[in-house]
Amino acid sequence: MTTIKGPGIFLAQFMGDTAPFNTLPSICEWAASLGFKAVQLPTWDSRCIDLQKAAESKTYADELKGIINSYGLEISELSTHLQGQLVAVHPAYDTLFDGFAPEQFRNNPTARTEWAVQQLKLAARASRNLGLNAHATFSGALLWPTVYPWPQRPAGLVETGFTELAKRWLPILNVFEDNGVDLCYEIHPGEDLHDGVSYEMFLEKVNHHARACLLYDPSHFVLQCLDYLSYIDHYHERIRMFHVKDAEFNPTGKQGVYGGYQNWIDRAGRFRSLGDGQVDFKSIFSKLAAYDYKGWAVMEWECCLKHPEDGAREGAQFIKEHIIRVTDKAFDDFAGTGANEAFNRKVLGL
């Protein structure tokens, strides 16, 4: 067993226009002051990282690590959530997702996809240069508008969708293989990979690629009414990243999983700050420790009620208190009588 590393913090929801959230050095100083040990970097934010430079220059990568290390922090992983989303976009979402790409690629889905694919390949090389072994992303979605089977899905539609999704991702996965980095899909509503079954369908299409791994975030499973603990039992061998995010699901006589088009605060299912929701983190940390999870526990803040700075301060302590320092001996070692083959045979009457 391995003691989980942490606490880490995903910087995406904290970067802003005012100090200390507007530069990498100042936000690192802030994160370290709260007790965080690592930062997860959003690669679409140039204040955090120049992705192309990190992919092409080991010197730049070392300098970036040096800045972060100077505050007593490590880089846990890089994230390409926004770019990964653009690897596969159904036409219904073209306009809504265009803002995830640079202006020169908007209103041009083909060019936008090519840019996104290149971003993922850069991320693989950047991760290698930074000495990282896991990377976070989204799968994108071609089938999401048909997630509820009405109107009836045409025969073969799902098969065609996953075949195309795999065709787009397989070359990317191969680049991650070449660079020794696991590509971890965050299983998330809005993505074609949104639960265990859809992940397995994709995994089959990419020939069970060794680098097609998972980012585990229980909050999304609470909102889907999915058993997030047995999920670990099914997929622990593929879980390489962990977002520590809380959530609650409180259905009423008026709304349930779909939320009635309400904003986050008025939905039956909503994200909460750590400790304020319904996720059983004690069981999660216990399972991950028992299954020898070797990665980071990274806080992702998306609460619709609590101020982010309060959520971060409380979250650092929450994760610290939940990390299990695994034992290196059995509790009943004191009663051991020693053993060898001859002794064991004697015990068995052989």
**Tokens found for residue 274:** 């750590």
- pLDDT value, residue 343: 87
Q: Which domain holds residue 313?
A: 5-347
**Tokens found for residue 222:** 């609470």
Name the pTM for this structure. 0.96
CA 272, 274, 277, 282 torsion-angle sign:
positive
Residue 337 has pLDDT above 80, yes or no: no
pLDDT in tens, 220-250: 999 999 999 999 999 999 999 999 999 999 9
Q: Domain holding 29: CATH number?
A: 3.20.20.150
Alpha carbon 73 to chain centroid distance? 19
pLDDT in tens, 157-173: 999 999 999 999 999 99
Number of domains the chain contains: 1
**Residue 219 and residue 279 in contact, taking contact as beta carbons nearer than 8 Å:** yes
pLDDT in tens, 52-76: 999 999 999 999 999 999 999 999 9
Give 282: exposed, middle or buried? Use CB within 10 Å, 0-12, 13-18, 19+: exposed
